[in-house]
Amino acid sequence: MPRTFFITLIALLPLLPAVNCAADAPPIKVFLLAGQSNMQGQGVVQMDDPKDYNGGKGNLVWSMTHSASRLRMQHLRDANDGWVVRNDVEIRYRFRDKVRQGKLTVGYTGYGGSSHIGPELQFGHVVGKSFDEPVLLIKTAWGGKSLHVDFRPPSSSGKTGAYYTQMIAEIHEALAALNGRPYQLAGFVWMQGWNDMVSKPATAEYAENLVNLAKDLRSEFKSPDLPIVIGELGNGGPAKDGSGMQKFREAQQRGSRQITNAKFVVTHSFARPAQLSPNRGHGHHWFGNAESYFLVGDALGNAMLQLLND
């Protein structure tokens, strides 16, 4: 070819469109995890002070050797006895104006550091193992918040909850931070209820508010069939007949049944006794038992996979 052809080609190179590496990457599977303190994560990892943590009984280290689920938990440790860090699953959680984002491992809770776990840990392992695409978990959770007031969705009468608004804003913020990387909104997980359970008015309208939450979230993100998994408020194990806990769990199930493409996950069998748990006075937090949080995350993850496979 003539030399002038190559000179012309070199001159034109800056004008050629750049290859969009972000657009060519596989779409990220994005899962939204929301709720109050039990979604934040209260499962103790390794603290074992005899006075404050019951000598470590029920923490994650103890559970991997002594709990009924010990054989199912071995993937959480690596060959050097450190905590496994998944390269295919990332998590993002904003708490107190600080964004924590990175590869999934222990510690993405409201405490900072690596002292606790929530359902996100095993949930991330379950979904991460099931997809070839990378996974992103976006967690929005705050302790002591109700669906009746704090997370109140726009479709429910009255004032929209400040934490519903904040949840939506933080999800948009996290998606914008992908900087054009293709993604698929794959599912929403809701783990919440204590503050509504202790209020009769809140329990009375919980089913309706739950339905509205699903409807408004799907509308906001233009995903009318978004799979939704709702975790039972299983703290304390089986509920007594006629108790506030029983009535609240019935409200959770009633609302879940009215939501299309949704699953309600029963969790009360995952409760462990206080004497075999690190936080013996924290029944509202599953006594800080790491096995409980592991099993909750596992059940929520498998329920999500069932919806996606269906």
Q: What is the pLDDT of residues 213-232, one digit of tens each?
A: 999 999 999 999 999 999 99
Q: Which residue has the tokens 């509202």?
A: 284
**Residue 310 confidence (pLDDT):** 87
**What domains sit in the chain, N to C, each tagged with a CATH number?**
24-309 (3.40.50.1110)
Positions of the chain with pLDDT lower than 70, given as ranges: 1-23
Q: What is the DSSP letter of 51?
A: T
**Residue 18 confidence (pLDDT):** 40
Q: What is the pLDDT of residues 5-51, one digit of tens each?
A: 444 434 444 444 444 445 577 899 999 999 999 999 999 999 999 99
Are residues 196 and 43 in contact, defined by beta-carbon separation less than 8 angstroms?
no
**Residue 222 confidence (pLDDT):** 98
Euclidean distance between CA atoms 250 and 248, whole angstroms: 5
Task: Estimate to the nearest angstrom the gap between the alpha carbon of 141 and the chain centroid.
Answer: 9
Instruction: Give me the helix-helix angle, 162-176 and 206-220, nearest 10°.
Output: 30
Tell me the backbone φ, ψ of residue 56, rounded to 5 degrees.
Answer: 90, -5
